[in-house]
Amino acid sequence: MSPLRIALIGFGMSGVGALHALRHRGRFTTTPDAVHPEITVFEAAPVPGGKAAPENLGAQFLDADALYPFDRILADLRLATHRVRQDYELVRLRLRNQPVIEAKVFREALVSLREALLRALQSMPFAALDAMSVPEFLDRLRQRGVVTDEGRAAMRQRMLLEDGTTRLSALAYALSLAKTPTPVRRLEVVGGLNEVAVRERAAAVAEGVAFRMEAAVKRIDVARDSVRVWSAAGTEEFDRAILCVSPEHLARIRISGKPLPLAPLARMTPARISKSNLLLHGTSVAEEHATERYALWATSRKAPRRAGALMTFFHGWEGQAPLSMWHMVKVVTGTASASRLAHFSSRTWDATPREGELPMAYVTEPAPGETIPLLRFARDLYFRGRHDSSPLAIASHALAIGANVREAALTGEWAVVALLRGLGHDVSPAMKRSLDPERELFGAPRALLARELDGAPPPPPRKPITKGDPQGPP
Ligand SMILES: Cc1cc2nc3c(=O)[nH]c(=O)nc-3n(C[C@H](O)[C@H](O)[C@H](O)COP(=O)(O)OP(=O)(O)OC[C@H]3O[C@@H](n4cnc5c(N)ncnc54)[C@H](O)[C@@H]3O)c2cc1C
């Protein structure tokens, strides 16, 4: 039987999820031996991992309560994790001209917002929720006395330091919060999250997968049953291809021929953030906290001899300039002298094109009005087989209406399931793996998505919600 030539374009966490699923395809189809993939990975950067960058300068944490597919991936690659600090709502918030907001208030505000958004998911039309920004939703909660001024300020700040922007659709935010408990229990991969990409690449190379590094794909010609890929490494022909990139990368790839409706993804605006790690001699004088300019946390690690605390700053989000190194040194050592600084590393994720690099932004999450078209496209692609006849599929964290590596890897897996289904294979093991795969990926149960997006008949009536009821939608 002739091999099936597959191109994976991009090797961030969605590329890792796709490659891992292809290598373990017996988990997703009843006919794994009927597929003989000959896989080539194209990655523009010299190193694998994308935003799960080396030196922990990108993604760092996994969510212990929503781990799949990383539970399998980590076990297969023999990588260990350890538990770390919980979410930012458990730190003290010091905002200018305001009393210090204690961690307890921060957490209570998030719990109130989460509960209100989960109720709104059930009781408000998705279209109305998508039209609203999270700050607008918060304002309504404040008017009804569900959150205090302090709580509203805390939540706005949390959005900035977690998402980099407040231009977020209330529907997308509700779906994201529905996927995880509050507070989030976090895990760190021993050696850093980038190690997942490094190990996956090594395991795949051992199985004969070809990697073209520093080979940015510039053009893709999609024919009826094949894909031609143009990269720095030349022009190559494949039977199937999966684009595993972030939205800001799409503008750099010319796609011609049989199209995929990528417009909802391509028009999204990514957020920006800077992340800086300071390794100190001795301990930090500052405890973990957040202000309007930065969030500061201590990173646990295997300490090299003679060095002390490793402190991490998130900064430079919407409305703020990144902090200078001296500013950060002063916060953690109490002086503007670098004598206690053993190592400093920093990276700004703001989509600015740099010489020889692709633009890399922080995460991309739906702004008001952007969630529904994205949900429709991702459901059609992964669960309904509407694009199975296309030899080109796509995976991206943004298609899971979220901002995490877990979502990136899961879309990679679903893109592979779509590819196998398109080739006529039985993918029932993939569809039955989880009770409700749509809920796992998007945060809302299948029936609710069908009602809101397809106009399916409504579920049985619920207890009526009266106007002004603090339990009701705003
Ligand atoms: C500072 C920071 C901190 C974060 N913290 C966390 C965290 O703690 N936990 C968490 O879960 N998430 C976190 N995230 C988010 C997480 O990193 C992303 O959601 C996830 O890594 C995105 O993976 P992706 O594969 O969809 O995209 P990317 O990581 O952007 O990967 C896309 C890859 O494709 C390559 N590529 C693009 N275009 C081309 C082309 N034309 N040809 C070839 N290759 C191409 C890129 O070089 C890149 O390697 C963080 C992100 C940042 C930036």
- Helix, strand, coil percentages for the chain (3-state, nearest 5): 40, 20, 40
Residue whose CA lies nearest to ligand 1 atom number 50: 59
Q: Tell me how far apart the alpha carbons of residues 279 and 275 are, in angstroms, rounded to a whole number.
A: 13
Cα–ligand 1 centroid distance for 44 (angstroms): 12
3-state secondary structure at position 112: helix
Any ligand 1 atom below 6 A from CB of 408? yes
Please tell me the predicted confidence (pLDDT) of residue 471: 44
Least confident of 86-95, 211-220, 290-299, 406-415: 86-95
Any ligand 1 atom below 6 A from CB of 43? yes
Q: Does domain 273-349 have CATH number 3.30.70?
A: yes
Q: Tell me how far apart the alpha carbons of residues 156 and 274 are, in angstroms, rounded to a whole number.
A: 18
Cα–ligand 1 centroid distance for 464 (angstroms): 43
Residue 457, number of CB atoms within 10 A of its CB: 7
Residue 93 pLDDT more than 90? Answer: no
Residue whose CA lies nearest to ligand 1 atom number 41: 217
Any ligand 1 atom below 6 A from CB of 273? yes
Please tell me the predicted confidence (pLDDT) of residue 302: 55
Write out pLDDT tens, residues 376-389.
Answer: 999 999 999 999 99
Return the domain boundaries, the chain: 4-80+190-268+366-453, 88-184, 273-349
Any ligand 1 atom below 6 A from CB of 87? no
Percentage of residues of the chain with pLDDT beyond 90: 76
Residue 472 pLDDT more than 50? Answer: no
- How many angstroms separate the Cα of 157 from the Cα of each of 14, 163, 176? 29, 10, 17
Which is more confident, 100 or 375? Answer: 375
What residues have CB less than 8 Å from 416, skipping those under 6 apart? 18, 21, 22, 25, 28, 242
User: In the structure, what pLDDT confidence band is assigned to residue 468 with cuts at 50, 70 and 90?
Assistant: very low
CATH placement of domain 4-80+190-268+366-453: 3.50.50.60
Q: Tell me how far apart the alpha carbons of residues 246 and 362 are, in angstroms, rounded to a whole number.
A: 10
Cα–ligand 1 centroid distance for 11 (angstroms): 9
Write out pLDDT tens, residues 352-373.
Answer: 877 777 899 999 999 999 999 9
Least confident of 68-77, 92-101, 271-280, 328-337: 92-101
Write out pLDDT tens, residues 406-462.
Answer: 999 999 999 999 999 999 999 999 999 999 999 999 999 999 999 999 987 765 555
Residue whose CA lies nearest to ligand 1 atom number 20: 405
Any ligand 1 atom below 6 A from CB of 386? no
With CA atoms as reference, report the closest residue to 320 among 165, 132, 464, 93. Answer: 165
The β-bridge partners of 255 are 220
Residue 50 pLDDT more than 80? Answer: yes
Please tell me the predicted confidence (pLDDT) of residue 469: 46
Residue whose CA lies nearest to ligand 1 atom number 14: 59
Cα–ligand 1 centroid distance for 1 (angstroms): 36
Cα–ligand 1 centroid distance for 13 (angstroms): 6
Q: Tell me how far apart the alpha carbons of residues 295 and 256 are, in angstroms, rounded to a whole number.
A: 43
User: In the structure, what pLDDT confidence band is assigned to residue 248 with cuts at 50, 70 and 90?
Assistant: very high
Residue whose CA lies nearest to ligand 1 atom number 10: 404
Pick from 9, 13, 51, 195 the residue to mutate for probing ligand 1's pocket: most ligand atoms within 8 Å of its CB: 51
Residue 304 pLDDT more than 60? Answer: no
With CA atoms as reference, report the closest residue to 452 among 118, 119, 125. Answer: 125
- The region, left, alpha or beta by phi > 0 then psi within -120 to 50, assigned to residue 437 is alpha
Place of tokens 């409504």: 458
Please tell me the predicted confidence (pLDDT) of residue 459: 57
Closest ligand 1 atom to 16 CA: 25
Least confident of 71-75, 91-95, 289-293, 322-326: 91-95
Residue whose CA lies nearest to ligand 1 atom number 36: 10
Please tell me the predicted confidence (pLDDT) of residue 97: 73
Spatial strand order of the sheet with 61-63 comes to 61-63, 186-189, 81-83
Give the chain's count of helices (H) and strands (E): 16, 18
Percentage of residues of the chain with pLDDT beyond 70: 93
Q: Is the peptide bond before 48 cis (omega within 30 degrees of 0)?
A: no
Q: Tell me how far apart the alpha carbons of residues 38 and 360 are, in angstroms, rounded to a whole number.
A: 29
Q: Is the peptide bond before 54 cis (omega within 30 degrees of 0)?
A: no
User: In the structure, what pLDDT confidence band is assigned to residue 181 with cuts at 50, 70 and 90?
Assistant: confident
Cα–ligand 1 centroid distance for 15 (angstroms): 10
29 within 8 A of 429, measured Cβ to Cβ: yes
Cα–ligand 1 centroid distance for 65 (angstroms): 21
Please tell me the predicted confidence (pLDDT) of residue 224: 92
H or E element: which one contains 186? strand 186-189
User: In the structure, what pLDDT confidence band is assigned to residue 121 with cuts at 50, 70 and 90?
Assistant: very high
User: In the structure, what pLDDT confidence band is assigned to residue 102 with cuts at 50, 70 and 90?
Assistant: confident
Residue 473 pLDDT more than 90? Answer: no
